[in-house]
Structure 1
Amino acid sequence: MATQSQFPLSTRVIAAFDFDGTLTQRDTFVPFLAHLSWVRLAAALLRSSPALAGYALRLRSNEDAKMALCRHALRGRSRADLARVARAWVHTIPLRPALVRRLRWHQQRGDHCVLVSASPDVYLEDVARLLGFDDLICTRMQVDAQGRLTGDFDGHNCWGPEKIRRLVERFGAPDQYELYAYGDSRGDQWLIDAAQHAWYRGQAVKP
């Protein structure tokens, strides 16, 4: 996958795809945690329930609630072990054929395809390789000197305005290229608003 310095200046089109609910038929983060350990997930949900309830009541941010769950579910896990699990697990994720066809259309045209998701890098790196994305922008998990997850994020949760901020940081403002955006939830709205062409829940809202 390309880095900012490797982004070809001749590329005039970027296609930015959300993952959960857009390319997939359901959320993937909680199922990934369940695949790792149902017991640990259940304990993590219980211990992070105050933060999750606060988010549901709009008293806590999306980022606070998600980080609380990550701390209880992933802290201390080996990054290398998670990568091995993810390589096998990502093949089981149910995808939306129509959106995969749309991705292939962009790839056949030679557009620069970017996966932009709030889901974590611990499995999205493998998803991006599997689907042939040129770039990945996502929530990054912090890793300590021993190669274990701390449970905290390395940067911010890649949701809402953070998605477009990170896209602009990497590629520049959308008026410098033609942006296609694909999303399905409130967290994608900033990306949808910035794009010249956009699809929301499979429907063209900016043809």
Structure 2
Amino acid sequence: MKRNLALFDFDGTISKKDSMWEFLKFYSGKNKVYALFLTHAYWFLLMYFNITEKGKIKEKIWVSSFKNASVKQFQIKATSFSLNILPTFLYKEALEKLREHQNNGDRVIVVSASAEDWLQPWCEINNIELIATKLEKKDGKLTGKMATLNCKGPEKTRRIKELLNLDDYQSIYAYGDSEGDKEMLQIATFPNYRIFKK
């Protein structure tokens, strides 16, 4: 008998807060993050009015924050954040649904536009697979640029189909909370939109 597949967005679906901004505060400190926001205010306005794509703004922020950082030191911080800070702002109901799917023997995958570095450790200890945006790393340092496309919208479904054959699964459950999850929800037998938000 075929297994079921459960696909979960992370930010806003499993988490109450945006993990990228929370990681940036942990990594650089709140004051630097506020300064970063002011520095890129023009680009945030363009993003708000849908004049430019969010992925471009994200990459500018990542380059400003992570360029030339040691990969080893970055991953130490990312792991610490993932295991100690990340669990403090997750929806209880979302975690219960994750466990329910796992207990039913379903294949569970988190599909996120956030960087895999600060999600992977949490996913690993919870036996959850991860598809996420990858950061570019060269010669032991980060460039801040993306090594993949921003994993949202059509890119989510492309990455999912790259990893697996949807026909191998009896039913597909998908959980999301934003426009960036639309395509993932469309491939699901049972799409679930914003069901964990209070």
TM-score, scaled to structure 2: 0.89
Contact 1:48 1:72 in 2 (8 A): no
> What is the CA deviation profile of residues 5-64 of structure 1, one whole-angstrom value per residue up to 9, with x for unaligned ones?
xxxxx7532111111111111111111001111243234323333322211121111111
Q: CA deviation at 1:126?
A: 1.1
Corresponding position: 1:152 with 2:142: no
SS of equivalent residue, structure 2 residue 119: helix
SS of equivalent residue, structure 1 residue 16: strand
d(CA) in 2 for partners of 1:154 and 1:17?
22
d(CA) in 1 for partners of 2:39 and 2:126?
35
Q: CA deviation at 1:103?
A: 0.5
Aligned to 1:95: 90
d(CA) in 2 for partners of 1:77 and 1:144?
10
d(CA) in 1 for partners of 2:67 and 2:50?
26
C-alpha spacing 1:95/1:179, structure 2 compared with 1 (3 Å)? same
Contact 1:16 1:180 in 2 (8 A): yes
- Structure 2's unaligned 5+ residue stretches are none
Aligned to 1:3: none
d(CA) in 2 for partners of 1:81 and 1:46?
27
TM-score, scaled to structure 1: 0.86
Please list, as runs of the form range in 1=range in 2, the aligned pairs for 1:1-207 lying within 5 A after superposition.
12-38=3-29, 39-90=31-82, 91-93=84-86, 94-133=89-128, 135-145=129-139, 147-172=140-165, 174-177=166-169, 178-202=171-195
Contact 1:19 1:116 in 2 (8 A): yes
Q: Which structure carries more relative contact order (alpha carbon 8 Å, separation 6+)?
A: 2
Identity of aligned residues (%): 30
Q: CA deviation at 1:156?
A: 0.3
- Structure 1's unaligned 5+ residue stretches are 1-9
The alignment yields a C-alpha RMSD, in angstroms, of: 1.7
Q: CA deviation at 1:122?
A: 1.7
d(CA) in 1 for partners of 2:120 and 2:26?
17
